[in-house]
Structure 1
Amino acid sequence: MNKAFEKVKPAFQAFAANKYVSAVRDGFIACMPIIIFSSIFMMIAYVPNAWGFHWPDAVTNTLLIGYNYSMGLLALFVAGTTAKSLTDSENVNLPKTNQINPIAVIIAAEITFIILSIMPLKTGVDLTYLGSQGLVCAYIVGLIVPMIYNFFIKNNITVKLPPQVPGNIAQSFKDLIPLGASVTIFWLFGVLFKMATGTVLPRWIIQVLSPVFTASDSYIGLCIIAGAMAFFWFLGVQGPSIVSPAVMPIMIANTAANLAQYQAGVHVSHVFAQNAMDYIMNFGGTGSTFIIAYVLIFAAKSAQLKAIGKAAVIPATFSVNEPVLFGVPLIMNPIFFIPFIITPMVNISLFKFFVTTLGMNSIMYYLPWTIPAPIGIIAATGFAPLSFLLVPLLLAVDVVIFWPFFRQYDKQLVAEEQAKAAEVAAQNAAGSIPAGAGVAAVPAGATTESAVAVAESAPSTVTNTGSTAAVTNKTLKGEQYFKDNEVNVLVLCAGGGTSGILANALNKLSKERELKLSATARAYGQDMDLIQDMDMVILAPQMDSMKGNLQKITDKYGVKLVTTTGRQYIALTNDGDMALDFVESNL
């Protein structure tokens, strides 16, 4: 199985790293604060309805202003952020003295999107397609406008002014031709398209894709999406980074449609809403791993699995499941292939059954993915009564699916640990392990668990120098480096979860020891402009497919890029001293 996985993995990594796919994903990530912010207004306006309280119409309408002019213009903003993301990729390949102006590209993308999307009315204009229903059109505009700019800038087809002209004025004239070309091309296209179809492009796209929207809400469609994300992650390629760009417009449109149904007082029926991916398909993280850490703590007999459970339980509760994925490990571990793929499919099927057959309201609000899934399901469905039954059912079903595979793996590890402990104890008794040789002494009468713990911890606390003094000197030398040098570190992962844990570990240690080390964390694609101010970028293993793209950016700014393996990265998040030494040794 591993050989088969290794053969197909490069193709999926290449797709995930494609600059156009990345621009769509990163452009949407940049607009996530808008979605979260707007949802606050909606929850204040409508969640009290679950307890029979209704605001006066005037109050509700006032609250909806915050939603309508943020989420209601989401596609307009996404057109600009997608264009900005692709522009950053194009600029990596252009000379530093002849770059595309990102601000000009954002403006051009938003102008052209408005031209394509606004529908004239007798009394004004219809702004419907500037919101969630215009997302696909926004992506198209956001990808094409930077390509137009790249053509003109790369070939120096611009208005050139004498060198005596101030730079800001010269830049304005330099942007004139690509801006004019972008707007003119889309204006002509919009006029001709409306003459041919009688409607605007985003509305036509929705009509054409309506069968896809419908299919995504079917049992088969939902299972394919859930299974695909888990399958890609199992191969070691961050699943949502491949699947999300394709289905995000559907999820957002369905979430808005669900809210409209709720406002109209009818059944909230669209299953594949936005948080359905975060809380149902990825119940606790991709692979629906919420229950795994708890099972490891309370049921595992293996010392390794118990230790992983203790380290992973808090992150896993908040859907940061990399400690489980890389620590157990689940990904690339054939024993867990079936439950890892099947569990998300079963979860979303149960959710659909509750919504379609039992009449439970589906998800209508968008909440941050880091909210614990059991709480998120209840809150995002507007505290639907049946959601209080669905959550414990999902927990129970997930345990049942994973249990036989977990028990088999646990037995396998227990046998390996017993053999290893016996070997260490025998060598120690025979005196064959000299002091300071890289393996700590095992006390007489040590249990299997303690022996394994000592044996496994030794390599991380004792170096190959052959003396404890050398370790102390190395640590002092590393700390002195950060007392003398100001170092800025950026940690990048998929969603900002595990990267935040690692950055916090470094910052905590830096503050305690008065070091000049500062670390920050981001989701890949978020605030990438920070890279130019960093000394080092640490890339989490789940984003390994982005290594090539990121290397171009770090090379451009002369920043050190360091990649990590799965267990290494999780170990760094749990050990500040190890993380500090890792940074120092790689600079």
Structure 2
Amino acid sequence: IDVTYLSSQGMFVSFFVCWFVCQVEKFCQDHNVRIKMPDVCPPSLVNGFSAILPLAFALIPLYALEVIISTSTGGTMGICSGFMAILSAPLNALVSVPGMFILMPFAALLWCFGIHGTMIIMSVLMPLMLQAATNNAAAFAQGGYDALVFYPVTLFGCVGVCGGSGNTLPLVLFGLKAKSEQIKAVSKIALIPGWFGINEPVTFGMPIMYNPILCIPYILNIIVVMAVTLVGYKVGFLVPGFVPIMTLMPMGFAAFLGTLRWQNAIWDYLMLIPSGLVWYPFFKVYDNQLYKKEQEALAAEAE
């Protein structure tokens, strides 16, 4: 949990730092701001001294900002933790059911731009999810399944119930019969990892990021799965988890171990249906598009 929290803290800040350093480097290069060395010096020495001033101009403001934040908060916060404290305030207010229907699509939207939205949201919701599991463990010990309480943060699991973030396993299954060789190849590689909730092969291989055709169902199917899952909890088919499972496992395993109920175990597989219904029309459009490009490339190569 600590590693997850720290990595998500630094993610947004690292984007800003990279942008800032590149801007400083470009400014120094455009205006020839560097330590000049005699022409007789070897290139490695010249390059090393040329980087000193851009490095200093980038490092000093960032270090000063870190010192200011640390001093003003008594050493309890830095740039990363301060940013997360600001981000956590509105996120913590969104832990109701309507709020979860905002947070989870937002996490998927961040993924579409190459940002690990699931990890960012999880860093804020993880304490609440652990608290919910702890409360339900105590309730289960006292009154069994009837004493369990549904907490809205439970819906966080819907972001990747079948195939990882964005519920991409239906897309992979469709891709096994795709006309496009690219989609078919990626799907073969992504099938087994997807069963374990690891979908980087399909996320980067299709790709989904920066791909509007696939980003739309990537976000939309999460909303559909959340709505269906909420109904499952309301009618009593599903029960909230009371045993935290903090590792990746094949579909259904973590749901069973966290609740000791077969209904929760098969739910992961049942969600392939509504998720697949959302994915299919977009998959067909993208498959036809790639297939046409591949055929045109083959025809041009033959000519």
TM-score, normalization: structure 2? 0.66
Q: CA deviation at 1:295?
A: 2.0
Q: Measure how far apart 1:362 and its partner are.
A: 1.0
Map 1:32-431 → 2, pairs under 5 A: 93=63, 144=73, 146-147=75-76, 216-218=95-97, 220-265=98-143, 266-273=147-154, 277=156, 279-283=157-161, 284-297=163-176, 299-358=177-236, 360-380=238-258, 382-426=259-303
Tell me the SS of whatever aligns to 2:169.
coil
Aligned partners of 1:268 and 1:364 also within 8 Å = no
Question: What residue is the counterpart of 1:18 in the other structure?
Answer: 13
Q: Which amino acid aligns with 1:146?
A: G
Code of the aligned partner of 2:222: P
Amino acid at match of 1:303: E
> Structure 2 CA distance, aligned partners of 1:388 and 1:241?
24
Secondary structure of the 1:305 match is helix
Cα distance in structure 1, aligned partners of 2:170 and 2:293: 25
2:75 partner SS: helix
The 3 A distance-change label for structure 1 pair 388 and 316 is: closer
Describe the SS at the equivalent of 1:272: helix
Q: Secondary structure at the match of 1:319?
A: coil
CA distance in 1, matches of 2:300, 2:217: 34
AA in 2 matched with 1:413:
L
Letter in 1 for 2:285: Q
* Structure 1 counterpart of 2:39: none
Query: Helix, strand or coil: the match of 2:241?
Result: coil
What is the identity percentage for the equivalent residue pairs of Structure 1 and Structure 2?
25
Higher Cα radius of gyration = 1
Q: How many angstroms does 1:270 deviate by? A: 2.1
Q: Is the 8 A contact 2:238 2:263 kept in 1?
A: yes
Q: State the distance in 2 between where 1:369 and 1:233 align.
A: 21
- The structure that is strand-richer by fraction is 1
What do the CA deviations read for 1:295-321 (whole angstroms, capped 9, x no partner)? Answer: 211x21111111111112222222221
SS in 2 for 1:370: coil
Matched AA of 1:236? G
Task: Give the C-alpha shift of residue 383 in structure 1.
Answer: 2.8
**1:228·1:239 contact (CA, 8 Å) conserved in 2?**
yes
**8 Å contact from structure 1 (residues 222, 345) kept in 2:** no
Range 384-393 or range 286-295, more displaced = 384-393
In structure 1, C-alpha distance between the alignment counterparts of 2:173 and 2:206, rounded to whole Å: 13
**Cα distance change, pair 236–396 in 1 and its aligned pair in 2 (3 A):** same
Q: Distance in 2 between matches of 1:351 and 1:258?
A: 19
Structure 2: unaligned runs, 5 residues or longer: 1-7, 15-61, 79-88
Instruction: Using the TM superposition, give the Cα deviation of residue 356 of structure 1 relative to its aligned residue in structure 2, in angstroms.
Output: 2.3
CA RMSD, 1 decimal: 3.3
Deviation at 1:228, TM superposition (A): 1.1
Structure 2 residue identity aligned to 1:387? N
Distance in 2 (CA, whole Å) between partners of 1:296 and 1:302 is 8
SS in 2 for 1:355: helix
Change (3 A) 1:224 1:375: same
Q: 1:145 & 1:319 partners in 2: Cα distance? A: 41
Look up the SS of the partner of 1:371 in the other structure.
coil
Q: Distance in 2 between matches of 1:312 and 1:259?
A: 35
- AA matched with 2:168: T
Q: Supply the distance in 2 between the matched residues of 1:237 and 1:328 (Cα, whole angstroms).
A: 17
Distance 1:253 1:366 in 2: 10
Superposed CA offset, 1:308-339 (max 9, x none): 11112222222221110111011110111221
Over residues 267-302 of structure 1, what are the superposed CA-to-partner deviations in whole Å (9 max), with x where a residue is unaligned? 3422424xx53x4222222212132222211x2111
Flag the 1:424–1:262 CA change in 2: closer, same or farther, 3 A: same
- Quote the offset at 1:15 in angstroms: 8.2
Runs of 4+ in 1 over 4 A off after TM superposition: none
Shift of the 376–148 alpha-carbon distance from structure 1 to 2, 3 Å rule, reads closer
Aligned residues of 1:230 and 1:286 also touching (Cα < 8 A): yes
8 Å CA contact 2:252–2:264 kept in 1: the answer is no
Q: Distance in 1 between matches of 2:168 and 2:247?
A: 14
Amino acid at match of 1:414: Y
Q: For the structure 1 residues 242 and 391, does the alpha-carbon distance in structure 2 shift closer, same or farther, using more than 3 Å as the test?
A: closer
TM-score, scaled to structure 1? 0.36
